Structure 1
Amino acid sequence: MSRASPASRSEISECVRRSLDRYFKDLDGEKPCAIYDMVLNNIERPMLEVVMREADGNQTVAAEMLGINRNTLRRKLVEHKLL
């Protein structure tokens, strides 16, 4: 299995960075809270959707692609109502 190019990985990082910059600019004086959970919740679902599509719905393959246990993947799919 091929690994993503450094350019692809940095593009993802830059997208997250820009989104967080925009988030802080849009706070308009409000105090930020639970940023970690907010970011994970906003990234995890689309990541799971794309990986499951790339794995043709095969949870074992998707779990291998993600580098996580199949049971962990299944729990996350249920949490995000993708099952």
Structure 2
Amino acid sequence: MSAASAKPSTATSDCGDNALAQCVTQLVRRYLRDLDGNAADAELHDLVMRSAEAPLLREVLAWHGGNQSRAAATLGINRATLRKKLGQHGLD
């Protein structure tokens, strides 16, 4: 199967059926369990977003062979926003 035809399925009736949602659920549960009642160093939402955004940008950009316009369209953001985010993560 070529990279161009290996698009993930978005049809799901329940977020729990989504592999990405399941992965996030497991990682957040593990993070909270590992805290063992201690306070988190950062707000969890910010931590998850910071941790997920760079690999998301990197993988979508690679999927489109470095084409920022196509990557931005896939991400649902404009190209200028993509370029800004790439710079913030040192991916430019």
TM-score by length of 1: 0.88
Q: 1:13 aligns to what? A: 21
Write out per-residue CA displacement over residues 12-71 of structure 1, whole angstroms, 9 at most, x where no aligned residue.
000000000000000022113411110001111111110010111011010001010111
The residue identity in structure 2 corresponding to 1:55 is: H
User: What is the 5 A alignment of 1:62-81?
Assistant: 62-81=71-90
Number of corresponding residues: 82
**Identity among equivalent pairs (%):** 40
Q: 2:91 aligns to what? A: 82
Larger Rg: 2
**What are the ranges of 5 or more consecutive residues in structure 1 without an aligned counterpart?**
none
Distance 2:45 2:21 in 1: 15
User: What is the 5 A alignment of 1:1-80?
Assistant: 4-5=8-9, 6=11, 10-32=18-40, 33-80=42-89
Distance 2:24 2:36 in 1: 20
TM-score by length of 2: 0.80
Distance 2:18 2:37 in 1: 30
Task: Say what the alpha-carbon RMSD is for the aligned residues.
Answer: 2.0
**What are the ranges of 5 or more consecutive residues in structure 2 without an aligned counterpart?**
none
Distance 1:28 1:16 in 2: 19
Secondary structure in structure 1 of the residue aligned to 2:35: coil
